[in-house]
Structure 1
Amino acid sequence: MAWSILHNGPGMKSINKELFMIMCGQKPDLTTFDLNNFLENDLAEKLAKVVRCSTTEELTELKNSLGDWICDCGVPNIFTAFMSDLPTIYWQLVTHFIYHRVASIIQQFTSGLNSCGRLWEVVLNNWKAFLPLFTNTRGALTRNEVRDLFDIVWSSTGSNRRDLEEETIFLWECWLMSIQDSVPPLGFQQKCKVEFYDQEEPTRRIPYASTCALTLYLPRGVSEEEDFKELMFLAINGSLGFGKKAMEHSQRTKRRKIAAKVAEHFRLVSQQNEFEEQHFNLESTYNEPLEDSAYHDCVEDVTENVENEYPTDVFYDALDNDIFYDGFENGMADNTSDFDLDSECSDSEHAASDTR
Structure 2
Amino acid sequence: MTTHDDRDKFLHQYGDKLIDQGFGNPYNMSIENKDKLFKQIIKQLIFFRESSEINQFQKGMNEVCQFWDVVVENAQAFKDAFCTSPTPFTKDSFLALCKTTFSEVGSNRRREEQDTQYAWEMFLLDIEEKCVDVCFSELLVFITGADKPPCRGFQQKISIAFYDQEPGVKRNPFSSTCSLQLSLPRNIQDSDILKELMLTALKDSYGF
> Which TM-score tier does this pair reach, normalised by the shorter chain?
0.5 to 0.7
Match of 2:184, SS state, is: strand
* SS of 2:161 mapped into structure 1: strand
Q: Could you list the runs of 5+ residues in structure 2 that have no partner in the other structure? A: 1-12, 19-29, 128-135, 138-147
TM superposition shift of 1:202: 1.9
Structure 1 vs Structure 2 CA RMSD? 3.3
Matches within 5 A, 1:160-309: 160-179=108-127, 180-181=136-137, 182-185=148-151, 187-241=153-207
Task: Return the letter of the residue paired with 2:34.
Answer: L
For residues 105 and 215 of structure 1, what CA distance do their matches in structure 2 show? 31
Q: CA deviation at 1:167?
A: 1.2
Question: Secondary structure at 1:232's aligned position in 2?
Answer: helix
The runs of 4+ residues in structure 1 deviating greater than 6 Å are none
Q: TM-score, normalised by structure 2?
A: 0.62
**Deviation string, structure 1 residues 158-217 (Cα, Å, up to 9, x no partner):** 233222211110110111123323324453333332222222332211111223333221
| Cα deviations by residue, 1:50-98 (Å, 9 ceiling, x for unpaired) | xxxxxxxxxxxx8515155357x3xxxxxxxxxxxxxxxxxxx634541
2:81–2:152 Cα contact (<8 Å) kept: no
Q: Contact 2:163/2:183 (CA < 8 Å) preserved in 1?
A: yes
SS in 2 for 1:177: helix
Return closer, same or farther for 1:64/1:117 CA change in 2, 3 Å cut-off. Answer: same
Which position in structure 2 is the counterpart of 1:264? none
Aligned length: 167
1:146 aligns with 2:101: no
User: Residues 161 and 115 (structure 1 numbering): CA distance in 2 closer, same or farther, change over 3 Å?
Assistant: closer
Secondary structure class of the residue paired with 2:126? coil
Q: 2:71 aligns with which of 99, 114, 123?
A: 123
Aligned residue for 1:42? 14
Between the two proteins, what is the percent identity of the paired residues?
Answer: 35
Q: Which has the larger radius of gyration?
A: 1
CA positional deviation for 1:238: 1.7
Per-residue displacement from partner, 1:273-316 (whole Å, max 9, x unpaired)? xxxxxxxxxxxxxxxxxxxxxxxxxxxxxxxxxxxxxxxxxxxx
Alignment CA distance shift 1:42-1:136 (3 Å): farther
With the length of structure 1 as denominator, give the TM-score of the two structures: 0.39
User: Which structure's relative contact order is higher, taking Cα pairs within 8 Å and 6+ residues apart?
Assistant: 2
Q: 1:109 to 1:166 in 2, by over 3 A?
A: closer
